[in-house]
Amino acid sequence: MGVPAAALGGCKMSEASAEGEEHGPATGTSAREREVSLVVDAQATADGAGVKLRRAIGTRALSMVDPFLLLDEMHSDRPEDYAAGFPTHPHRGFETVTYVLDGAVDHRDSLGNHGHLGSGSVQWMTAGRGIVHSEMPTHEDGKTSLWGFQLWVNLPASQKMVKPRYQDLAAGRVSEVTLVDASVRLVAGEAGGVRGPVTGIVTAPAMLDVKIPKKGRFAHALPEGHNAFAYVIGGAAEIGPSRTLVREGQVAVLGPGTLAAARSTDGARMLLVAARPIGEPVARSGPFVMNTDEELKQAWEDYRTGRLVQD
Ligand code: CO
Protein backbone atom coordinates (compact mmCIF):
# COMPACT_ATOMS: atom_id res chain seq x y z
CA MET A 1 0.00 0.00 0.00
CA GLY A 2 1.30 3.45 -0.84
CA VAL A 3 0.17 7.04 -0.77
CA PRO A 4 -2.70 7.39 -3.27
CA ALA A 5 -1.43 8.85 -6.53
CA ALA A 6 -4.10 11.56 -6.46
CA ALA A 7 -2.93 12.71 -3.02
CA LEU A 8 0.70 12.82 -4.15
CA GLY A 9 -0.21 14.85 -7.22
CA GLY A 10 -2.12 17.32 -5.10
CA CYS A 11 0.80 17.75 -2.75
CA LYS A 12 3.27 18.37 -5.54
CA MET A 13 1.06 21.04 -7.06
CA SER A 14 0.54 22.81 -3.77
CA GLU A 15 4.24 22.75 -2.92
CA ALA A 16 5.12 24.22 -6.28
CA SER A 17 2.59 27.00 -5.88
CA ALA A 18 3.84 27.86 -2.39
CA GLU A 19 7.49 27.93 -3.46
CA GLY A 20 9.28 31.20 -2.93
CA GLU A 21 6.27 32.95 -1.49
CA GLU A 22 6.63 35.19 1.51
CA HIS A 23 3.37 36.59 2.74
CA GLY A 24 2.82 39.19 5.39
CA PRO A 25 -0.73 39.80 6.56
CA ALA A 26 -0.75 43.27 5.01
CA THR A 27 0.88 42.35 1.70
CA GLY A 28 -0.52 38.89 0.99
CA THR A 29 -2.66 39.52 -2.04
CA SER A 30 -2.88 35.83 -3.00
CA ALA A 31 -2.56 34.42 0.55
CA ARG A 32 -5.62 32.86 2.11
CA GLU A 33 -5.39 33.10 5.87
CA ARG A 34 -6.36 29.94 7.70
CA GLU A 35 -9.40 30.13 9.97
CA VAL A 36 -9.46 28.26 13.29
CA SER A 37 -11.73 25.25 12.74
CA LEU A 38 -11.64 23.81 16.27
CA VAL A 39 -10.34 24.78 19.73
CA VAL A 40 -9.75 22.01 22.26
CA ASP A 41 -8.45 22.11 25.84
CA ALA A 42 -5.45 19.92 26.60
CA GLN A 43 -6.36 17.32 29.21
CA ALA A 44 -4.50 16.50 32.42
CA THR A 45 -3.41 12.87 32.48
CA ALA A 46 -0.47 10.64 33.39
CA ASP A 47 1.64 8.31 31.29
CA GLY A 48 4.87 6.32 31.46
CA ALA A 49 5.65 5.36 35.05
CA GLY A 50 3.41 8.14 36.40
CA VAL A 51 4.54 11.30 34.64
CA LYS A 52 1.95 14.06 35.04
CA LEU A 53 1.29 15.78 31.75
CA ARG A 54 -1.20 17.64 29.60
CA ARG A 55 -2.34 15.87 26.44
CA ALA A 56 -3.25 18.26 23.63
CA ILE A 57 -3.65 15.70 20.82
CA GLY A 58 -4.49 12.02 21.28
CA THR A 59 -7.59 12.55 23.42
CA ARG A 60 -11.27 11.74 22.95
CA ALA A 61 -11.85 15.36 22.00
CA LEU A 62 -9.02 15.39 19.43
CA SER A 63 -7.76 11.92 18.56
CA MET A 64 -5.39 13.10 15.80
CA VAL A 65 -4.59 15.81 13.27
CA ASP A 66 -3.26 13.65 10.44
CA PRO A 67 -0.31 12.90 10.51
CA PHE A 68 -0.02 14.03 14.16
CA LEU A 69 -1.11 11.32 16.57
CA LEU A 70 -0.22 12.77 19.95
CA LEU A 71 1.08 15.92 21.63
CA ASP A 72 1.99 15.88 25.32
CA GLU A 73 3.28 18.74 27.46
CA MET A 74 5.22 18.16 30.67
CA HIS A 75 5.57 21.32 32.75
CA SER A 76 6.35 21.19 36.45
CA ASP A 77 8.63 22.52 39.16
CA ARG A 78 8.19 19.33 41.17
CA PRO A 79 10.49 16.40 40.27
CA GLU A 80 7.93 13.96 41.71
CA ASP A 81 5.64 14.92 38.80
CA TYR A 82 8.10 13.71 36.15
CA ALA A 83 11.10 11.86 37.61
CA ALA A 84 9.56 8.35 37.23
CA GLY A 85 9.88 8.98 33.51
CA PHE A 86 9.25 6.59 30.66
CA PRO A 87 11.21 3.40 31.41
CA THR A 88 11.99 0.84 28.71
CA HIS A 89 9.24 0.69 26.08
CA PRO A 90 9.02 -0.04 22.33
CA HIS A 91 7.84 1.95 19.29
CA ARG A 92 7.05 0.94 15.72
CA GLY A 93 5.47 2.63 12.73
CA PHE A 94 5.87 6.36 13.45
CA GLU A 95 8.18 9.14 14.70
CA THR A 96 8.56 10.69 18.13
CA VAL A 97 9.70 14.31 18.52
CA THR A 98 10.99 15.44 21.91
CA TYR A 99 11.35 19.20 22.41
CA VAL A 100 12.86 20.36 25.69
CA LEU A 101 12.42 23.99 26.78
CA ASP A 102 13.72 23.66 30.34
CA GLY A 103 15.45 20.81 32.12
CA ALA A 104 16.55 17.71 30.23
CA VAL A 105 15.58 14.26 28.99
CA ASP A 106 18.06 11.37 29.03
CA HIS A 107 17.37 8.70 26.43
CA ARG A 108 18.87 5.29 25.85
CA ASP A 109 17.93 2.53 23.42
CA SER A 110 18.53 -1.20 23.27
CA LEU A 111 21.15 -0.83 20.51
CA GLY A 112 23.33 1.34 22.74
CA ASN A 113 22.33 4.74 21.35
CA HIS A 114 22.03 7.26 24.15
CA GLY A 115 22.04 10.99 24.71
CA HIS A 116 21.18 13.93 26.90
CA LEU A 117 18.62 16.38 25.53
CA GLY A 118 19.21 19.68 27.33
CA SER A 119 17.22 22.93 27.42
CA GLY A 120 16.31 24.12 23.94
CA SER A 121 17.22 20.87 22.20
CA VAL A 122 15.20 18.59 19.95
CA GLN A 123 15.22 14.92 19.10
CA TRP A 124 13.37 13.79 15.99
CA MET A 125 13.38 10.00 16.14
CA THR A 126 12.07 7.90 13.28
CA ALA A 127 11.18 4.65 15.05
CA GLY A 128 10.40 2.88 11.77
CA ARG A 129 10.42 -0.92 12.11
CA GLY A 130 11.26 -0.78 15.77
CA ILE A 131 13.19 0.63 18.70
CA VAL A 132 13.12 -0.15 22.42
CA HIS A 133 14.14 2.80 24.55
CA SER A 134 13.77 4.72 27.79
CA GLU A 135 13.18 8.47 28.16
CA MET A 136 13.86 9.91 31.60
CA PRO A 137 13.05 13.59 32.26
CA THR A 138 15.36 15.32 34.69
CA HIS A 139 16.19 18.84 35.84
CA GLU A 140 19.37 20.85 35.56
CA ASP A 141 21.72 21.36 38.50
CA GLY A 142 20.36 23.77 41.09
CA LYS A 143 16.85 23.76 39.60
CA THR A 144 13.80 21.51 39.89
CA SER A 145 11.89 22.59 36.77
CA LEU A 146 11.09 20.62 33.65
CA TRP A 147 9.22 21.86 30.58
CA GLY A 148 9.07 19.71 27.50
CA PHE A 149 6.91 18.25 24.76
CA GLN A 150 6.50 15.02 22.89
CA LEU A 151 4.86 14.94 19.48
CA TRP A 152 4.05 11.75 17.56
CA VAL A 153 4.16 11.96 13.77
CA ASN A 154 2.76 9.10 11.73
CA LEU A 155 4.57 7.38 8.86
CA PRO A 156 2.89 6.19 5.65
CA ALA A 157 2.63 2.43 5.06
CA SER A 158 5.61 2.55 2.71
CA GLN A 159 7.84 3.97 5.50
CA LYS A 160 6.59 2.22 8.63
CA MET A 161 9.28 -0.46 8.53
CA VAL A 162 12.28 1.72 7.61
CA LYS A 163 15.49 1.55 9.58
CA PRO A 164 15.32 3.69 12.75
CA ARG A 165 16.94 7.12 12.50
CA TYR A 166 17.81 9.76 15.08
CA GLN A 167 18.19 13.48 14.54
CA ASP A 168 19.50 14.91 17.83
CA LEU A 169 19.89 18.68 17.73
CA ALA A 170 21.49 20.72 20.48
CA ALA A 171 19.83 24.06 21.30
CA GLY A 172 22.34 26.02 19.21
CA ARG A 173 21.38 24.14 16.04
CA VAL A 174 17.73 25.21 16.16
CA SER A 175 17.36 28.12 13.72
CA GLU A 176 16.24 31.54 15.01
CA VAL A 177 14.18 33.72 12.68
CA THR A 178 11.90 36.76 12.95
CA LEU A 179 8.48 36.55 11.29
CA VAL A 180 6.67 39.92 11.30
CA ASP A 181 6.97 40.81 15.05
CA ALA A 182 7.50 37.29 16.36
CA SER A 183 10.76 35.62 17.32
CA VAL A 184 10.70 32.04 16.19
CA ARG A 185 12.76 28.94 16.91
CA LEU A 186 12.49 26.94 13.71
CA VAL A 187 12.83 23.19 14.26
CA ALA A 188 11.58 21.98 10.88
CA GLY A 189 10.37 23.54 7.65
CA GLU A 190 11.32 26.83 6.01
CA ALA A 191 10.69 30.33 7.26
CA GLY A 192 12.20 33.73 6.53
CA GLY A 193 14.58 32.20 4.00
CA VAL A 194 15.95 29.78 6.60
CA ARG A 195 15.59 26.01 6.62
CA GLY A 196 15.11 24.29 9.98
CA PRO A 197 17.68 21.69 11.05
CA VAL A 198 15.41 18.62 10.90
CA THR A 199 15.51 17.21 7.37
CA GLY A 200 14.41 14.25 5.29
CA ILE A 201 11.05 13.67 6.97
CA VAL A 202 8.53 12.07 4.62
CA THR A 203 5.54 14.22 5.68
CA ALA A 204 7.48 17.49 5.05
CA PRO A 205 6.69 18.93 8.48
CA ALA A 206 6.97 22.50 9.74
CA MET A 207 7.53 22.99 13.46
CA LEU A 208 7.91 26.50 14.89
CA ASP A 209 8.16 27.73 18.47
CA VAL A 210 6.65 31.21 18.14
CA LYS A 211 6.93 34.08 20.63
CA ILE A 212 4.58 36.96 19.83
CA PRO A 213 5.33 40.13 21.83
CA LYS A 214 2.64 42.38 23.34
CA LYS A 215 0.58 43.97 20.56
CA GLY A 216 2.59 41.88 18.11
CA ARG A 217 1.71 39.93 14.98
CA PHE A 218 2.94 36.75 13.36
CA ALA A 219 2.43 35.22 9.92
CA HIS A 220 3.87 32.20 8.18
CA ALA A 221 3.09 30.63 4.80
CA LEU A 222 2.06 26.97 4.91
CA PRO A 223 1.46 24.77 1.87
CA GLU A 224 -2.16 24.41 0.86
CA GLY A 225 -3.31 20.91 1.72
CA HIS A 226 -1.01 20.49 4.72
CA ASN A 227 -2.80 20.01 8.03
CA ALA A 228 -1.82 22.47 10.77
CA PHE A 229 -2.45 23.24 14.41
CA ALA A 230 -1.24 25.75 16.99
CA TYR A 231 -0.80 24.81 20.65
CA VAL A 232 -0.62 27.88 22.88
CA ILE A 233 1.96 27.33 25.65
CA GLY A 234 1.94 30.81 27.18
CA GLY A 235 -0.40 33.82 27.21
CA ALA A 236 -3.16 34.02 24.63
CA ALA A 237 -3.17 34.46 20.85
CA GLU A 238 -5.84 35.65 18.44
CA ILE A 239 -5.57 33.31 15.48
CA GLY A 240 -6.97 33.60 11.97
CA PRO A 241 -9.11 36.22 10.24
CA SER A 242 -11.86 35.88 12.89
CA ARG A 243 -9.25 36.48 15.60
CA THR A 244 -10.28 33.41 17.55
CA LEU A 245 -8.90 33.73 21.08
CA VAL A 246 -6.79 30.69 21.99
CA ARG A 247 -5.39 30.53 25.50
CA GLU A 248 -2.51 28.72 27.14
CA GLY A 249 -3.30 25.00 27.27
CA GLN A 250 -5.56 25.08 24.21
CA VAL A 251 -4.88 23.63 20.79
CA ALA A 252 -6.36 25.30 17.70
CA VAL A 253 -6.79 23.20 14.57
CA LEU A 254 -6.41 25.39 11.47
CA GLY A 255 -8.64 25.10 8.43
CA PRO A 256 -7.61 25.28 4.76
CA GLY A 257 -5.56 28.14 3.37
CA THR A 258 -2.00 29.19 2.61
CA LEU A 259 -1.15 31.41 5.58
CA ALA A 260 -1.11 30.91 9.35
CA ALA A 261 -1.42 34.26 11.13
CA ALA A 262 -1.89 35.35 14.72
CA ARG A 263 -1.66 38.40 16.93
CA SER A 264 -1.57 38.95 20.66
CA THR A 265 -2.57 41.79 22.98
CA ASP A 266 -0.50 40.77 26.01
CA GLY A 267 1.98 38.39 24.41
CA ALA A 268 1.79 34.70 23.55
CA ARG A 269 3.94 31.69 22.90
CA MET A 270 2.75 28.82 20.75
CA LEU A 271 3.94 25.81 18.84
CA LEU A 272 2.83 25.95 15.21
CA VAL A 273 3.03 22.52 13.60
CA ALA A 274 2.01 21.43 10.09
CA ALA A 275 2.62 18.55 7.69
CA ARG A 276 1.29 16.73 4.67
CA PRO A 277 -1.55 14.41 5.78
CA ILE A 278 -1.10 10.71 5.08
CA GLY A 279 -4.76 9.74 4.57
CA GLU A 280 -4.35 6.05 5.37
CA PRO A 281 -6.14 3.87 7.94
CA VAL A 282 -4.64 4.19 11.43
CA ALA A 283 -4.48 1.22 13.80
CA ARG A 284 -2.88 2.16 17.13
CA SER A 285 -2.22 0.27 20.30
CA GLY A 286 -0.04 1.83 23.02
CA PRO A 287 3.41 2.41 21.55
CA PHE A 288 2.64 1.01 18.07
CA VAL A 289 0.91 2.78 15.18
CA MET A 290 0.26 0.70 12.08
CA ASN A 291 -2.38 0.49 9.32
CA THR A 292 -4.16 -2.71 10.35
CA ASP A 293 -4.94 -4.71 13.50
CA GLU A 294 -2.99 -7.61 11.98
CA GLU A 295 0.15 -5.44 11.83
CA LEU A 296 -0.41 -4.35 15.44
CA LYS A 297 -0.63 -8.00 16.53
CA GLN A 298 2.61 -8.67 14.66
CA ALA A 299 4.30 -5.72 16.41
CA TRP A 300 3.33 -7.01 19.88
CA GLU A 301 4.44 -10.52 18.86
CA ASP A 302 7.79 -9.21 17.56
CA TYR A 303 8.29 -7.28 20.82
CA ARG A 304 7.49 -10.35 22.96
CA THR A 305 9.86 -12.54 20.98
CA GLY A 306 12.70 -10.01 20.80
CA ARG A 307 12.39 -9.42 17.05
CA LEU A 308 11.19 -5.81 17.12
CA VAL A 309 14.70 -4.41 16.96
CA GLN A 310 17.04 -5.51 14.20
CA ASP A 311 20.63 -4.39 13.57
CO1 CO B 1 9.25 6.58 23.62
CA distances from 242 to 53, 56, 222 (A): 31, 22, 18
Sign of CA dihedral 260, 224, 197, 76: positive
DSSP bridge partners of 16: none
- The confidence score (pLDDT) of residue 30 equals 81
Q: Ligand 1: distance of its center to the CA of 87 in Å?
A: 9
pLDDT digits (tens, 9 = 90+) for 128-147: 999 999 999 999 989 999 99
Q: Specify the number of domains making up the chain.
A: 1
Is the confidence at residue 7, as pLDDT, over 80?
A: no
pLDDT digits (tens, 9 = 90+) for 83-92: 999 999 999 9
Is the confidence at residue 1, as pLDDT, over 60?
A: no
Q: Ligand 1: distance of its center to the CA of 280 in Å?
A: 23
pLDDT digits (tens, 9 = 90+) for 268-310: 999 999 999 999 999 999 999 999 999 999 999 999 999 999 8
pLDDT digits (tens, 9 = 90+) for 60-76: 999 999 999 999 999 99
Domain membership flag for residue 3: no
Q: Ligand 1: distance of its center to the CA of 119 in Å?
A: 19
Domain membership flag for residue 309: no
Domain membership flag for residue 227: yes
Q: Ligand 1: distance of its center to the CA of 64 in Å?
A: 18
Q: Ligand 1: distance of its center to the CA of 40 in Å?
A: 25
Q: Ligand 1: distance of its center to the CA of 127 in Å?
A: 9
Q: Ligand 1: distance of its center to the CA of 140 in Å?
A: 21
As a whole number of angstroms, the distance between CA 77 and CA 82 comes to 9
Q: Ligand 1: distance of its center to the CA of 101 in Å?
A: 18
DSSP code per residue over 142-200: T---EEEEEEEEE--GGGTTSPPEEEEE-GGGSEEEEETTEEEEEEESEETTEE-SB--
Q: Ligand 1: distance of its center to the CA of 96 in Å?
A: 7
Q: Ligand 1: distance of its center to the CA of 88 in Å?
A: 8
Question: Of 94, 89, 98, 97, which Cα lies nearest the Cα of 66?
Answer: 94
Mean pLDDT of all residues in 172-188: 97
At residue 29 the predicted structure's pLDDT band, cuts being 50, 70 and 90, is low
Domain membership flag for residue 174: yes
Residue-number span of the structural domain to which 96 is assigned = 28-298
Q: Ligand 1: distance of its center to the CA of 89 in Å?
A: 6
- Number of helices and strands (H, E) in the chain? 2, 25
Q: Ligand 1: distance of its center to the CA of 189 in Å?
A: 23
Domain membership flag for residue 192: yes
CATH of the domain at 194: 2.60.120.10
Domain membership flag for residue 264: yes
Q: Ligand 1: distance of its center to the CA of 109 in Å?
A: 10
Q: Ligand 1: distance of its center to the CA of 224 in Å?
A: 31
Is the confidence at residue 216, as pLDDT, over 60?
A: yes
Q: Ligand 1: distance of its center to the CA of 231 in Å?
A: 21
pTM over 0.85: yes
Is the confidence at residue 15, as pLDDT, over 90?
A: no
CA angle 48, 155, 97 (to 5 degrees): 45
Domain membership flag for residue 67: yes
As a whole number of angstroms, the distance between CA 211 and CA 186 comes to 11
Helix H or strand E segment including 17: helix 5-18
Domain membership flag for residue 236: yes
As a whole number of angstroms, the distance between CA 81 and CA 46 comes to 9
